[in-house]
Amino acid sequence: MTAVNDVTFEVSKGETFAFLGPNGAGKTTTIKMLTTVLRPTSGTLELDGLNPVTDSTEVRKRFGVVFQDPSLDSELTAWENIDIHGVLYHVPRRVRHERGETLLKLFELWDRRNDLVKTFSGGMRRRLEIARGLLHTPKVLFLDEPTQGLDPQSRNQMWTIVKNLNASEGVTVFLTTHYMDEADRVANRIAIIDHGKIVATGSSAELKQQTGTDSLEAAFLKLTGTTIRDETFSAEDRMRQVSRVWRR
């Protein structure tokens, strides 16, 4: 099965780039390829001038990623999660501690650093994942539906912090979301993908103008249609369902 086919786009340094599309459009597949966990069958990828397929180790040092499904160890404390990340990314101990402290304070998790992650709320886990992803000072931060299932307060706070870091550290942010208002607010540029192909790119204003609509949501629906996308139910989805029951 082909998830994405002939997708071409470029993201500039320091940009906040939103990658939007209906379910099953190929957003996650694209992120997986850029973050070296999936190999493309054809085409070329480049991240900071390097090829994720051939220079995977170098590329991995340059990005931080928050996947759609959680990747924290919930049986460890917040600090242990941060610390292990630091070791995996060869961040020197002193830097690890300083930056870990700064980031946890920024994401308002410092007071809970010694608590097990399994006692954290969904929003706190997400914040911790983002903080962890930034620990090694990456050039690019990938966020795959980071605000899914969060309340407006958590979403607002998360994007405020991310935008601030984007401005202060110049980290490029590559995000996907189903909340059009978020993309409208935080992204400098937006690409809309559907059926594995890019159907439009530009700023929010440009997309509205192109489609003759007055909101990003309307532009999105005009570009991608109003039909419901029913993805095939994969083994992954089945496990996702079970995980909701066995919420750890």
- The residue from 90, 94, 214, 226 that contacts another protein (CB under 8 A) is 90
Interface residue with another protein, options 51, 74, 156, 211 (CB under 8 A)? 74
Under the binding rule (CB under 8 A), the answer on residue 53 touching another protein is no
Q: Which stretch binds another protein (CB under 8 A): 17-25, 77-85, 149-157, 171-179?
A: 77-85
* DSSP annotation string for 127-155: HHHHHHHHTT--SEEEEESTTTT--HHHH
231 binds another protein (CB under 8 A): no
Question: Is residue 79 a contact point for another protein (CB under 8 A)?
Answer: no
Give least dist CB 142 to another protein, A.
10
Phi, psi of 64 (to 5 degrees): -120, 150
- Cβ 221 to another protein shortest distance, Å: 31
Selected from 32, 127, 155, 208, the binder of another protein by CB under 8 A is 32
Listed in sequence order, the residues at least 6 apart from 102 whose beta carbon sits closer than 8 Å to its beta carbon are none
Task: Determine, following the binding rule CB under 8 A, whether residue 242 of this chain makes contact with another protein.
Answer: yes
Query: Quick one: which of 10, 46, 69, 151 contacts another protein (CB under 8 A)?
Result: 69
Comparing CB distances to another protein, the nearer of 43 and 152 is: 43
| Options 43-51, 160-168, 218-226, 240-248: segment touching another protein (CB under 8 A) | 240-248
Contacts of residue 38, defined as CB under 8 A and 6 or more positions apart, other chains included, come to 29, 32
DSSP 44-91: ---BTTB-TTTSHHHHHHHEEEE-SS--S-TTSBHHHHHHHHHHHTT-
Q: Is 48 in the site for another protein (CB under 8 A)?
A: no
Residue 61 binds to another protein (criterion: CB under 8 A): yes
Contacts 24+ apart (CB under 8 A), 75-80: 75/116, 75/117, 75/118, 76/116, 76/117, 77/113, 77/114, 77/115, 77/116, 77/117, 78/104, 78/109, 78/112, 78/113, 78/114, 78/115, 78/117, 78/120, 78/128, 79/104, 79/113, 79/114
Minimal distance, residue 137 CB to another protein, in Å: 13
Q: Which is nearer to another protein, 80 or 217 (CB)?
A: 80
Residue 37 lies near another protein (rule: CB under 8 A): yes
Judged by CB under 8 A, the stretch of 59-67, 144-152, 186-194, 204-212 that binds another protein is 59-67
Cα separation values, 63 from 36, 70, 89, 209, 246, Å: 10, 17, 11, 33, 31
DSSP state at residue 197: E
Residues near another protein (CB under 8 A): 32, 35-39, 57-58, 60-61, 65, 67, 69-76, 80-81, 83-85, 87-90, 132, 235-236, 238-240, 242-243, 248
